[in-house]
A and B are shown apart, each in its own frame.
Chain A
Amino acid sequence: MLFPAPSPPSPPPRVVITGAGIVTALGLGWRRNAEGFRAGRTAFRPVTLFDVSRQRVKVAAEADLPTALPSSRLSARQAGRLDRASTMLLLAALEAWQQAGWEPSDRLPLILGTTSGGMALGEAYFRQAVQSPRRHRRQPTRALYYQSQTQGRVVLDALGIGGPVTILSNACASGGNAIGHALELLRRGCATQVLAGGYDGLNQLVFSGFDSLQTLSPTLCRPFDAHRDGLAIGEGAALMALETLESARQRGAVILGELAGYGTTIDLHHLTQPHPQGDAALVAMIQACEMAGMTPADIDYINAHGTGTPLNDSSEAAAIRRWAGNRAATLPVSSTKASIGHLLGAAGAVEAVVCLMALREQWLPPEIAFETPDAACCFPVVREPQDAPLKIALSNSFGFGGVNATLVLRRWS
């Protein structure tokens, strides 16, 4: 029963990560991505999925997907209907699931963040409806699989779990919100295990949209660089298997890290522009650290939202400066969007998994293309691959419409 809900446990349980799955343009799975992020590789190339000949910008971070899916409980018919976004979602889910070693369950919540769900199917529907209006073949399937709840149900069927499915669409904060929402469910005692993350596939509407706003970089995506000139679009998915510490210990699970804090706020400054001083971002970071019982002095690395647009990065830099105070001068910051682009609804989840990798393997993800520090950035931007003793990482995600999400992750040792 959703209401009345059980009384929340006091104190709230600690929440740990026992599985993580990731798909980006750097590759499929933890190992390839960890190697790529550690080295600061970039994954941009000319767009092949749709015609960009009339766009200002012609590159993006497209993922290479396998021709065949790993085995799962999906029927061949279901598997044959998946679009790119669903495929990436499923690949990430299967990796997280296998790593966690979870068993099928009647009630295991799935919480997803996305901005455009199966938009590629929506685009195909539109084209056929306009160009061949009397042709109806495949249109019902597109109309159904376009919807993100259908994509969520595909994951349930593939893993043999019963849900419920919750889908958050807070624009580019969605993935961070999904993981944060899962943390809240576990802390409230509503579940002991939750699978959560984000996904988004590259599609023409969104690519053209950002290009129309002239927010895509015609050169290189260089977050926090004084000469930054925009973002790059990417695609991908990441999911985390989250559970209470008690549940993980009872199972004898391998614990990859702890999800310690979450904050979310709303910035009402403008639909597409953040407050110049990062007021709401500042509060999100404060909230997340309060939940985690930490101060800026405890944070060893920030994976910034860092899109590479002039307005976002200056606002976020201001928020970090105000939040961290003197600590900012020595606090390493980077944006992994320099490597894989902006993954929109997947960004917050992918970047949380990058933080988890960095904490587990003790390195900092660099921005190789970064050249000239912006005077507004009072923190060191990670420019070279380097090992580092990390205990706590903070990840920011900010979205169109103003929703901000901040996550705090702790190394498990």
Chain B
Amino acid sequence: MNRVFVCGLGAVSPAGWNVAALRESLDQGQPFPVQSLERPGWDKPLRVRLVPAPAQRLAFLGHPRLRRTSPVTHYAAAAALEAVAKVRTGNESDPRFGIIVCLQAGCVHYSYRFFDETLKDPATASPLLFPETVFSAPASHVASLLGNASLVYTLLGDPASFLQGLALGVAWLKEKRVDACLVIGAEETNWLRADALWHLDHRAIISGGAGAVCLSLNPVWSVGVELDRITAVHTYIALQPRSQAALAMRAELPAGSPEQLLCDGIGDSPRTDAPEIAAWRDWSGPRLSPKRILGEGLMDAGAWQCVAACDALAGGRFAAAIASLVGCNQHAIGARFVRDARRISHLPATLPAGNMAV
């Protein structure tokens, strides 16, 4: 038995607090308005796309562990709950969850606040803030919220690490250590993180949010999508620059075709995007570029690509979808998802327009 099914998706993005909002924004294909974020001491503001405030208070904030948490945990938790909605009943028969939270910048809000307090006077720096600065805090909170977690890891890295997380989740499933594995990519935004990205790439527009993919070997929970493959990891090293790694990743994935969607990681920065554009120059099928609409979320953007790919399949719009994750400074990894044919028997007569360019 080698089949791994997608049994739920979740997303928080500048478009809103669920996958439907993400889908709608990508279908419309219009870049979200850019907002200004003040950078102290500098009259030129930073360009960002922020997650809007939720329409109503998030119910899970009533959980005792989540009251003081930072936005990255809110995003991760919201995406997680959406992704497990189909498999979680809230009683003892719930599956044993594996949880893998993938981060690049991590808990910048509380780190900023705590270090700012430390520099002003460490004797009064708040002990409430410090635990929330730790990279593993969001994973711990999500595990506590779900309540039936068996294995919990936090992975750091560039956005392609989200696919390392999916591969690790598959290993846990195959070894029967968990019944369902939730892989979450999340980031939050403040001026310091936006400033750091600006120093590395002046054209990028930073954003935040989360994406979650829930995997299982149990076909009963399938949303109509299964994992077909994840390529090898093509690491950027002295002998293999990013451009070559992107090409090597691309070479492991099939040629373009009308029924196959490519969710790439191309955004607003020609220099950063050049290796990925070159790698997919031969692609003849439809293409979706979430970062062009929503901004450079880093790890959450990698997750959005996978969520968008799976969502397009779950909606019956394509037969297969590829997520191309050419990370910014670590590695290039790709994944291909296919429709679970038992669930969806036909393609729609027409494909959506908007951002999907052939």
- A-to-B contact residues, CB < 8 Å: 1-5, 52, 54-56, 73, 114-115, 117, 122-123, 125-127, 129-130, 133-134, 136, 139-140, 143-144, 146-150, 152-153, 156-157, 161-171, 177, 184, 188, 204-205, 208-214, 264-266, 268, 271-272, 399-403
Contact = CB atoms under 8 A, between A and B. Distances in A.
Given A163-B235, A163-B237, A268 B149 contact: yes
Contact of A153 (B2, B229, B237, B335): B237
Contacts of A164: 164, 233, 235, 331
B293 to A, nearest CB: 25
Interface in B166-202: 166-167, 170-171, 174, 192, 195-197, 199-200
6 A-B pairs closest in CB distance: A133-B41, A401-B140, A163-B235, A209-B130, A164-B233, A2-B167
B151 to A, nearest CB: 7
Contacts of B153: 168, 170, 177, 403
A271 B65 contact: yes
Contacts of A127: 119
B112 interface: yes
18 contacts: A2-B230, A5-B170, A54-B122, A115-B134, A123-B115, A126-B112, A143-B197, A156-B235, A162-B240, A164-B164, A166-B155, A167-B161, A168-B154, A208-B118, A210-B130, A212-B126, A264-B151, A403-B152
Interface string B87-112: 00000000000000001100000011
B329 A271 contact: no
Contacts of B119: 127, 130
Interface residues of B, number: 77
Contacts of B195: 129
Interface in B111-140: 111-112, 114-116, 118-119, 121-123, 125-127, 130-131, 133-137, 139-140
Nearest to A185: B171
B77 interface: no
Contact of B170 (A3, A125, A149, A168): A3
B256 interface: no
A149 B333 CA distance: 15
Contacts of B149: 266, 268
B156 interface: yes
A3 B227 contact: yes
Nearest to B167: A2
Contacts of A210: 130
Contacts of B111: 122, 205
Contacts of A211: 122
A188 B140 contact: no
Contacts of A56: 123
Contact of A136 (B158, B161, B199, B329): B199
A399 to B, nearest CB: 6
Contacts of B157: 148-149, 165-167
A144 B335 CA distance: 26
Given A1-B229, A3-B170, A115-B135, A140 B237 contact: no
B114 A169 contact: no
Contacts of A399: 136
Max chain B Cβ within 10 angstroms of own Cβ: one of A139, A143, A211, A213: A143
A213 B127 contact: yes
Contact of A144 (B130, B139, B329): B329
Contact of A54 (B104, B121, B140, B329): B121
A153 B235 contact: yes
A401 B122 contact: no
A407 to B, nearest CB: 16
A126 B227 contact: no
B237 A134 contact: no
Given A3-B170, A5-B171, A126-B115, A133 B39 contact: yes
B131 A149 contact: no
Given A204-B118, A209-B114, A165 B331 contact: yes
B312 interface: no
Contact of A55 (B122, B137, B329, B333): B122
A1 B330 contact: no
Given A1-B229, A133-B41, A400-B134, A268 B123 contact: no
Contacts of A122: 111
B238 interface: yes
Nearest to A125: B196
Nearest to A130: B40
A3 B229 contact: yes
Contacts of B147: 268
A149 B330 CA distance: 6
Contacts of B141: 271
A115 B133 CA distance: 10
B237 A212 contact: no
A204 B121 CA distance: 12
A212 B235 CA distance: 39
A150 B136 contact: no
B214 interface: no
Nearest to A136: B199
Given A1-B231, A126-B192, A403-B136, 5 more contacts: A153-B236, A184-B171, A212-B125, A271-B141, A401-B134
A143 B135 contact: no
Contacts of B335: 3
A157 B239 CA distance: 9
Contacts of B115: 123, 126, 204-205, 208
B110 to A, nearest CB: 10
Nearest to B157: A149
A134 B42 contact: yes
A250 to B, nearest CB: 24
Contacts of B118: 204-205, 208
Contacts of A188: 171
